[in-house]
Chains A and B, each alone.
Chain A
Amino acid sequence: EVQLLESGGGLVQPGGSLRLSCVASGFTFSSHALTWVRQAPGKGLQWVSSISGSGGSTFYADSVKGRFTISRDSSKNTLYLQMNSLRAADTAVYYCANSFTYFDYWGQGTLVTVSS
């Protein structure tokens, strides 16, 4: 059974940093691209970033480019999202999802709140 479990969310001040993690199980980790999708409170879904199975290719939404870094560690079956220079507009539930085409498995999400 495929499982994705996010962690690392919390309250952070504007300009601060946070690193999200997503532990994956139930599939061959290094064979699958992974993605972060976020959802601001009461709003729709927004694609944030994706990474290939090898980690050699990464893709970012313009709204986070230069501030967020996606990475993965195959030895730990873990996906990361390093978020720097956080803004109030980054407040959202962050989901990790498999693949970078359509997403058939999702984690339960972790809430990031950027506020002073």
Chain B
Amino acid sequence: EIVMTQSPATLSVSPGERATLSCRASQGVSSNLAWYQQKPGQAPRLLIYGASTRATGIPARFSGSGSGTEFTLTISSLQPEDFAVYYCQHYNNWPRTFGQGTKVEIK
């Protein structure tokens, strides 16, 4: 099983600032990596797939990069609606696994 490790666990950022979230895979997953955003009481929302492709309707301030074992989600200028928990997930093989999440909170 591939273990996905996200860092940091919590990121305190002021609105308008840049946020950089990391995700590391215990084995290479090529570019088979997705990022999700989840707000309290809601289902997750797909942000990025293929490590760097924005999903439909996702603002350009969200960008993804990386391949193999190291991945990054960058939010260029945090908006009030971006404060949430973010998860990475690989789909390179079975079982699919998620990272434990990074909570982005208001500083």
Using a Cβ–Cβ cut-off of 8 Å, how many residues does chain B contribute to the interface with A? Answer: 24
B44 and A106: CB pair below 8 A? Answer: yes
- Assembly CA distance A103 to B35 (angstroms): 10
In the assembled complex, A74 has its CB within 8 A of some CB on chain B: no
Is the pair B95, A44 in contact by a Cβ cutoff of 8 Å?
no
Interface of B is mostly: loop
Cβ-based interface call for A113 (8 A): no
Docked complex: B60-107 residues within 8 A CB-CB of A: 87, 89, 91, 94-101
B-facing mask of A1-44, CB < 8 A → 1, else 0?
A: 00000000000000000000000000000000001000000001
Interchain residue pairs A-B with the least CB separation, the first 6: A102-B34, A106-B43, A47-B96, A102-B49, A101-B91, A45-B98
17 sample A-B contacts, Cβ–Cβ < 8 Å, listed by A number: A35-B96, A44-B101, A45-B36, A47-B89, A50-B96, A59-B94, A95-B43, A95-B44, A100-B91, A100-B96, A101-B32, A101-B34, A101-B49, A103-B34, A103-B44, A106-B43, A107-B43
